[in-house]
Structure 1
Amino acid sequence: MHAGRRFTLTEILVWTRREILVLFGLSLVPTVLYAGLGWHWLGMPWVPIALVGTATAFVVGFKNNATYSRLWEARQVWGSIVNTSRSWAVFVRDWVGSAPPTGPGFLDARQQLIYRHVAWLTALRFQLRESRAWEHMHEPANVEYARNYRIAERETILAEELAPYLTPAEAAYVLGKKNRATHLLALQSQQLKELLDHDHLNNLLHLQLVPLLVNLYEQLGRCERLKNFPYPRQFATLNLLFVRLFAGLVPFGLLPEFEKLGAHFVWLTIPFSMLVAWIFLAMEKAGETAENPFEGGPNDVPITALSRNIEIDLRELLDELTIPAALQAENNILL
């Protein structure tokens, strides 16, 4: 997530410089042939090109609206996770008896239940940061921009991150599963049942805690849907094709238009066709950055920072004194 006022013009131009160079070539070649060699047959009527541009604008607008909806849904999911996490911690702290934990390393069952929830957040964010074939972080411009910040999940090991929050047996069990977040919630349910069976939790409060686990399963499923089901490839492919087609046609339509102003004005085709095409390409790339809200891009939902904030809230509810600091933005990027 960009945490500053705005991206600078320099950042945008550097990010799109490859497209700018391509547009320069696409504008220069037909202009030189038209004005220098007299190939006036290259000129095309502007009306059909404008119709292509209108259709392209609708397609780009549709994509950007759809991808923004994916990004906003992802933020809503994590807002729900924040709220449910706080509810879970408060109920566990106030209503679970001072029962012994199910393994070494914890003061009581309350601390273990809350720490295991932090482990669930950790496993979830690691799962969401895994790469998918349709994601865009491997593209050169995105790889370059990613040097401005760090993606914690790609610099650390999950086993090391889980160690402070789980018993060794639980950590080994969870790491042996494919969907670690699912099995951590299963361990929570298992411990609640054990507490209920040993009268450390009454039935009424058990019925209050179980729906919280169900809600967390629902939010996990929504995260997995956003992660594993991309923006439909047919729409993404046609959108890119239409934008590139329009960008290639623009200079051919502007050549005769600028010639009407005078022979020397033909050369204005180069900057103006670059500008028109760049706007469409930049908007297409902007929509592309919102397609996958968990891939580690600068416009993603900051799940690492949100997880840390939840951990701080939960450990403060336990009145712990040693609490990690909130994450800060690096070069205005917060992940």
Structure 2
Amino acid sequence: MHAGRKYTFFEFILWTRRDLYRLTILAVIPTILYHFCGFTFLSISWVPVALLGTAVSFIIGFKNNASYSRLWEARQIYGGIINISRAFGVMIRDFLESKDKSIEVKVIFYRHFAWLTALRFQLREPRAWENMDDPRNVEYSRNYHIAEKIDKLEEVLAKYLSADELSYVLTKKNKATQLMALQSSHINRLFASGNISDLQLQSLQNAITVFYDNQGKAERIKNFPYPRHFSSIATIMLNLFVFLVPYGLLNDFNKLGNGTLIEGYSIWLNIPFAILLTWVFNSLDVVGESSSNPFEGNANDVPITNISRTIEIDMRDMLDETDLPPAITPEHNILM
């Protein structure tokens, strides 16, 4: 996510410059043909273009609202993971403290860090509908690094798991699910050996249920895109509108200079104003698109790497460890 005050206008221009090149070409061609070649038939009434623009504004607004909802839900999911992780850690520590089970407490804590790691790696896996291969996003991603694209999962998990558990988990397709299953088995063994009571077992299993619930919600957002039919029709209508705008403005700007000193030259105003109008609509669309997949590694994603590190620091602090990992800080105002 962007952790600064705001994106600058220059950043927006740089980010959308490829679109600006396309929009400029679409505005220049009909203007030249109209002015130099006498193709006055290229001019069309502004009324149908304006009506189409109204429809485009509605569907882009709908798309942006839905994209923001997906982003905000993803942030709420990880907010829930933060809260239940702290509660889970306190319960494990306090329930087993009187039993002098500090080693087992640490094993459960570190297995939880492994679960957070496996989950964030899974959520960063690419999907066909995501936008990280878009040239504008590829270029901007050079301003920050995505840990899940650089680190190797097995090496990170090795810091938290025993050799046997690591070997077992690496054979599984959904590693996060199996890690939480190991937590459940461990807790049930503690109950069977009399180290925790019925009520304590229920509290801990309820926490595991919440972890699974939040994982499932995150996977739903990851694996179910913004509906393709809505996305497709928005793109088609936007491209049609962008194409027609320069033709709809031709006659108006040509007449603008009649009887004035700029007569014969006012037609050239069609180019900057057409670019400006179409750039606004196009930029609104790409902003919504950049928010629709909140786990892909985009600069506007939920910072799951940072959140996972925050949870780890808090829980290791509960163990009174002093060698805590450093907090993750923004790179060029981008926090992952």
Query: Which bin holds the TM-score, normalised by the shorter protein?
Result: over 0.9
1:141-171 residue CA offsets vs partner (Å, 9 max, x unmatched): 1100000000000101001101111111001
- Distance of 2:118 and 2:148 partners within structure 1: 10
Q: Contact 1:100 / 1:109 at 8 angstroms: preserved in 2?
A: no
The CA RMSD measured in Å over matched residues stands at 1.1
Partner of 2:182: 187
Cα displacement string for residues 192-213 of structure 1 (whole angstroms, at most 9, x for unaligned residues): 0110011111111111111000
User: Residue 96 of structure 1: SS of its match in structure 2?
Assistant: helix
> Are 1:131 and 2:138 matched, yes or no?
no
Relative to structure 2, which stretch is displaced further, 92-101 or 25-34? 92-101
User: Does 2:12 match 1:12?
Assistant: yes
2:298 matched residue in structure 1 = 297
- Give the SS at the match of 1:282: helix
Aligned residue identity for 1:16: T
Q: Distance in 1 between matches of 2:203 and 2:28?
A: 68
Q: Quote the Cα distance in structure 2 between the aligned partners of 1:192 and 1:100.
A: 15
- 2:150 matched to which residue of 1? 155
1:234 equivalenced with 2:229 (yes/no): yes
- Are 1:109 and 2:104 matched, yes or no? yes
- Cα distance in 1 for residues equivalent to 2:111 and 2:98: 17
Residue 186 of structure 2 aligns with an amino acid whose one-letter code is Q
SS at match of 1:313: helix
Identity of aligned residues (%): 51
- 1:76 paired residue number: 76
Amino acid at match of 1:33: L
> Helix, strand or coil for the counterpart of 1:146?
helix
Structure 1 residue 99 displacement after superposition: 6.2
What amino acid is the match of 1:2?
H
TM-score normalised to structure 2 length: 0.97
- The 2-side partners of 1:228 and 1:148 are apart by 27
Opposite residue 76 of structure 1, the aligned amino acid is Q
The equivalent residue for 1:65 is 65
- SS of 1:191's partner is helix
> Structure 1: which 5+ residue stretches go unaligned?
102-106
Distance 1:210 1:129 in 2: 27
Alignment of 1:1-335 (within 5 A): 1-97=1-97, 108-262=103-257, 263-335=264-336
* 1:100 CA drift (Å): 8.4
Q: How many angstroms apart in 2 are the aligned matches of 1:205 and 1:18?
A: 58
TM-score, with structure 1 as normaliser: 0.97
Mapped partners of 2:256, 2:281: distance in 1: 26
SS state at 1:108 partner: helix
Q: Which amino acid aligns with 2:270?
A: T
- In the alignment, the residues of structure 2 paired with residue 70 and residue 40 of structure 1 have an alpha-carbon distance, to the nearest angstrom, of 46
Equivalent pair of 1:67/1:288 in contact (CA under 8 Å) = yes
**2:323 aligned counterpart, secondary structure:** coil
Q: CA deviation at 1:96?
A: 2.0
Q: What's the CA shift for 1:97?
A: 4.9
Map Cα deviations across residues 108-163 of structure 1 (whole Å, 9 max, x no partner).
11111111111100000000000000000001111000000000001010011011
Unaligned runs of 5+ in 2: 258-263
In the TM superposition, structure 1's runs of 4+ consecutive aligned residues that sit over 3 Å from their partners are: 97-101
Q: Displacement, 1:188?
A: 0.4
Query: Is residue 97–residue 201 contact of structure 1 (8 Å, CA) maintained in 2?
Result: no
Report the residue type matching 1:108 in the other structure.
Answer: I
Q: Which amino acid aligns with 2:78?
A: W
Aligned residues: 330
Q: Retained in 2: the 8 A contact 1:98–1:109?
A: no
Paired with 2:137 and 2:98, the residues of 1 have a C-alpha distance of: 50
Aligned residue identity for 1:240: T
User: Counterpart of 1:96 in structure 2: which amino acid?
Assistant: L
Aligned partner of 1:104 in structure 2 is: none
Q: Is the 8 A contact 1:99 1:109 kept in 2?
A: no
Q: Within 2, Cα distance between the matches of 1:236 and 1:121?
A: 31
SS in 2 for 1:297: coil
Instruction: Tell which deviates more after alignment, 90-99 or 165-174.
Output: 90-99
Give the residue type in structure 2 aligned to 1:298: A
- Once residues 140 and 134 of structure 2 are traced to their aligned partners in structure 1, the CA distance between those partners, rounded to angstroms, is 10
One-letter code aligned to 1:331: H
Q: Is the 8 A contact 1:23 1:278 kept in 2?
A: yes
